[in-house]
Amino acid sequence: MPDQRRVKELAIPLVLLLAAFLTVLVFPPVGVVLGLITPSPLVLVNLQRGRLTGLLGIAGMFVLVLAAMGPKAAVIFAAEYGVLSAAMAESIRFQFPMEKSVFYSALASASLSLLTLFLLFADREATLPELFQKQVREHMEQSLETLKSMGKDKAELDAMRTAAEKVAGAFAVSYPAFIAVGNLMCAAVNFVLVQGLWRRMYGDSAFFPRRFSAMVLPDQAIWPLIVSAGTLFAGGDELYAAGLNVFVVMLAVYFLQGLAIVVHVLETKTVPILFWVLALFLILTQPIVMGIVTGLGVFDMWVDFRKIRPAPEEKPEE
């Protein structure tokens, strides 16, 4: 009889890949969410069977997406999920901590994704920011029409329309940040999923020396957040656009650190699984709670909520 452990090693990544692929075809809205975990089985295969097998797995998924959805979808899959899975597998193989593994994987994926989008939209009359702004404006106009049908005052609608134009412009100039944040969150989710599956299959190993709850950003990371926030008030369209993109990305980075603090508290208090689900649901669905968690991540540099930061070295007295 075949070794059960070997069968499990092969079955888990295959089942995850097939589930995500079939769900995308049958239930597209749900498939978009499940598609975010597509890199995790590819990372598992890469770590289990080596780089060549991992690359062949990415190539196989590329062919499946190409046959089912066409060349554009296949190229986007390769740029986002394929590159992310390959970069993450290598960073894990070199035993990078979670924050570095997620950062390098997201950086590689976001860079290629932006390049791919630029090439895909290069032959169109409107630029990518203009198309993005148009989509945002259309969605906001639909919302305003709904409010109008509910009897909202015309003056209020005009004020909301003016504000919506400003928001649409801000979204348009910050679209690179939203692509980067999407890749960052995707990388974080897949790292945690791969870590959990690996620990379940093999126990603790050198691949994952630390848990997500031990994620600690370097103190120097606060400076991009502070400087980018300052550029939002410095004036100048180019400076504002650059600062806004950096600011949005840094907020997402500190949100992840704040989430690690929350997970640390839940782990140390050994709370029931129901509280885990409730806490994570509130964090991921309530903007106010997301802001509080981001604040925890920012102030952790000074407060050290988990008491895991190394103490500063004292200078010897002369």
- The DSSP secondary structure of 178-192, one letter per residue, reads HHHHHHHHHHHHHHH
pLDDT (0 to 100) of residue 180 = 86
Q: How far is residue 182 from each of residues 57, 98, 136, 178, measured CA to CA in Å?
A: 23, 17, 17, 6
CA gap 160, 158 in Å, rounded: 5
Per-residue pLDDT of 218-243, as tens digits, reads 888 899 999 988 888 877 777 888 88
pLDDT (0 to 100) of residue 78 = 85
**In the chain, what is the greatest distance between 2 CA atoms, to the nearest angstrom?**
77
User: How is the chain split among helix, strand and coil, in percent rounded to 5?
Assistant: 80, 0, 20
pLDDT (0 to 100) of residue 223 = 92
| Tokens linked to 222 | 């606060």
117, 118, 108: which is closest to 82 by C-alpha? 108
CB 129 within 8 A of CB 83: no
Give the residue ranges of the chain where pLDDT is below 50: 1, 7, 30, 315, 318
pLDDT (0 to 100) of residue 11 = 54
Q: How far is residue 13 from each of residues 16, 57, 183, 194, measured CA to CA in Å?
A: 5, 10, 21, 10
pLDDT (0 to 100) of residue 318 = 47
pLDDT (0 to 100) of residue 16 = 57
**Phi, psi (degrees; rounded to nearest 5) at 36:** -65, -25
pTM across the whole model: 0.73
126: left (phi over 0), alpha (psi -120 to 50) or beta: beta
- What b-and-e string marks burial along 6-43, b requiring 16 or more CB atoms within 10 Å of the CB? eeebeebbeebbeebbebbeeeeeebeebbbbbbbbbb
| Tokens linked to 192 | 């945690």
